[in-house]
Homo-oligomer: A and B are copies of this chain.
Amino acid sequence: MSKLSIKAYVEALGQEARAASRHVARASTAAKNQALLLAAAALRRDQAELVAVNQSDLAKARAAGQDAAFLDRLTLSPASIASMATGLEQIASLQDPVGEVTGLVRRPSGIEVGRMRVPLGVIAIIYEARPNVTADAAGLCLKSGNACILRGGSEALGSNQVIARAMHEGLRGAGLPESVIQVLDTADRAAVGELITLKGLVDVIVPRGGKSLIERISNDARIPVIKHLDGVCHTYIDASADVAMAVRVADNAKTQRYGTCNTMETLLVHEAIAPAVLPLLCALYREKGVELRGDAAVQRLIGGIQPATEADWYAEYLAPILAIRVVPSLDAALDHIAHYGSQHTDAIITNDWNHANRFLREVDSSSVMVNTSTRFADGFEYGLGAEIGISTDKLHARGPVGLEGLTNQKFVVLGNGQIRGG
């Protein structure tokens, strides 16, 4: 397609999504759930076809020289398709957030004022060649009453089209317009540029993927973006911490999984407890093959530690590497997190009530924890049921974003003829 026709194509998608958003916003919970369950059934039924189309996507990606990690994310198996279908069924079982009215109070004028939870409108989701995201993101948008435009990595286009067909079958079966869920059907990257500047047609962008993708999209977008860039998560072991608990939690925060955004990347330890805790903990880390980088105090306590550079305090390794710093006080730990942190998830291990409270109040991150592992920062673990991503933004949703984060509240005002100044 030419640049001009790409623009016209994306605009037409946006217009259709805008129109569809009014339909899905007023759809009943029963209709939305029916669409989700029918789509799940279609995915299970068309499993063999989806695997075959995915194999052809994989062959092209392999021929284009994509690496093993890339091919792994692109691959669909009968098991992963079943889990996609189960995911849709689980979304159907979640409570519908739309229409909830809260805080209705009578004002002196006689009007009643409250807030009603409503969909955002049209959500554009931009992600990498991971076809399982297609069903997941479409399902969350549908349940929250939003229309969506999906743009996955072009290498997954064939697989995404088959998944979209199943979603459309669900929508049709529930009497909802297919344009509630649209897949951007071109490999042309210019289409993304058009999509993220469709002011008035798209209400919010959710980018999912690596930092460079998210950075590019949030720099170029002319529409609000829900996102997180980095997960430089800290655990601070306070002087009063229980040593056994500190070792157990700090081990889990680093080693339970290395590649996730809620994995601890920097460990801060109070100088009074460092001699008790660091030898035990570093032995554990080394046993598991974690490369340790420390400041001078850590190097004095533990032999053979590589020195940490300034860049290490900013690093999101997503790998078995850990930066460790000894600090003289809670305030020094708070300063370190304020300066180097990414406002994702930070935890304190302490037995001091006042320190726990200060940490909870003063650390300006989307999740702040006491005496537990940063690895818990997750929509399922928090009870949101599912998440479309994690936000480290200051406005709207902070932390794991589930159905509620895909909605907002408007004011509703009920009267019986009141007039102002009357």
Chain A interfacial positions (CB closer than 8 Å to B): 22, 25-26, 99, 105, 107, 109, 111, 113, 116, 118, 120-121, 203-204, 224, 226, 242, 245, 248-249, 251-252, 256, 338, 347, 358, 360-362, 364-373, 375-377, 381-383, 393-396, 398-400, 408-422
Contact = CB atoms under 8 A, between A and B. Distances in A.
A400 to B, nearest CB: 7
Contacts of A414: 369-372
A61 to B, nearest CB: 31
B252 A419 contact: yes
A382 B418 CA distance: 14
Nearest to A19: B338
B395 A252 contact: no
Contact of A361 (B99, B226, B408): B99
6 contacts: A347-B413, A369-B413, A371-B414, A371-B417, A372-B416, A372-B418
Given A99-B361, A373-B418, A396-B396, 15 more contacts: A26-B358, A109-B381, A111-B372, A111-B376, A224-B394, A248-B422, A249-B415, A252-B420, A347-B413, A367-B412, A369-B412, A373-B419, A376-B420, A377-B413, A398-B409
A358 B99 CA distance: 11
Contact of A372 (B25, B362, B408, B419): B419
Contact of A362 (B22, B370, B383): B22
Contact of A204 (B362, B394, B415): B394
B364 A26 contact: no
A369 B415 contact: yes
Contact of A367 (B396, B410, B417, B418): B410
